[in-house]
Amino acid sequence: MTLEAEAMIDGRAVSRRPSPVEVLSRLLRDQRVKFVIAGSINTAFGFACFATFETLLGDVTGYMLVLLLAHVSSVLFAFTVHRRFVFRVTGSVWRDLWRFESVNLTSLGINALLLPICVEVGSLPVLVAQALVTCVIAVVSWLGHSRFSFYRKAVNP
């Protein structure tokens, strides 16, 4: 994506800097940028779900059931955001949801495998280790959702 744009003035092309609105519009057409935005929103929503369920039910159910409730709520929210905002697909909602959750559970498994390796073997502090693992998980998630959860075969016109 170049910063220069061409405009026609008096019949000739003249380079000019695009406006901030044009730059933002161009960025929001990039599926990878939308994926990062959606991931940020989904992370905040998931944490808010966990905090809300913990506050309302934690004393009664314990934090593991709270975690399950937050997971289900946040996956349904994230699925909707990814399906409508990032990938903009139609078709079988149930198939897409099953695939979406499969990718999320795979990411969770990779996280559960890599985090202790980074902490116990690599002697990294837990938060540093989780930050590194999160970068790996983001790539896995992008590949899984773009090539599996919401993949559609190209239609030849």
* Nearest CA among 98, 93, 136, 99 for reference residue 114: 136
Is residue 107 within 8 Å of 144, Cβ to Cβ? yes
Q: What is the pLDDT of residues 75-89, one digit of tens each?
A: 999 999 999 999 899
Percent of the chain's residues with pLDDT above 70: 89
- Mean pLDDT, residues 100-115 taken together: 91
- What is the model's pLDDT at position 1? 45
Lowest mean pLDDT among 36-45, 120-129, 131-140, 148-157: 148-157
- What is the model's pLDDT at position 67? 81
- What is the model's pLDDT at position 144? 92
pLDDT at 63 over 90: no
What percentage of the chain's residues is helix, strand, coil (to nearest 5)?
Answer: 75, 5, 20
DSSP SS3 for 100: helix
- What is the model's pLDDT at position 95? 94
Average pLDDT, the chain: 86
pLDDT at 62 over 90: no
Q: What is the pLDDT of residues 108-127, one digit of tens each?
A: 899 889 999 999 999 999 88
Q: What is the pLDDT of residues 22-45, one digit of tens each?
A: 888 888 888 889 989 998 999 889
Is residue 119 within 8 Å of 126, Cβ to Cβ? yes
Look up the pTM and report it.
0.73
| C-alpha distances out from residue 14 to 4, 7, 8, 9, 117, Å | 10, 5, 6, 7, 55
Is residue 48 within 8 Å of 74, Cβ to Cβ? no
- Mean pLDDT, residues 71-78 taken together: 93
Is residue 95 within 8 Å of 103, Cβ to Cβ? no
Extended strands (E) in 2-41: 5-9, 12-16
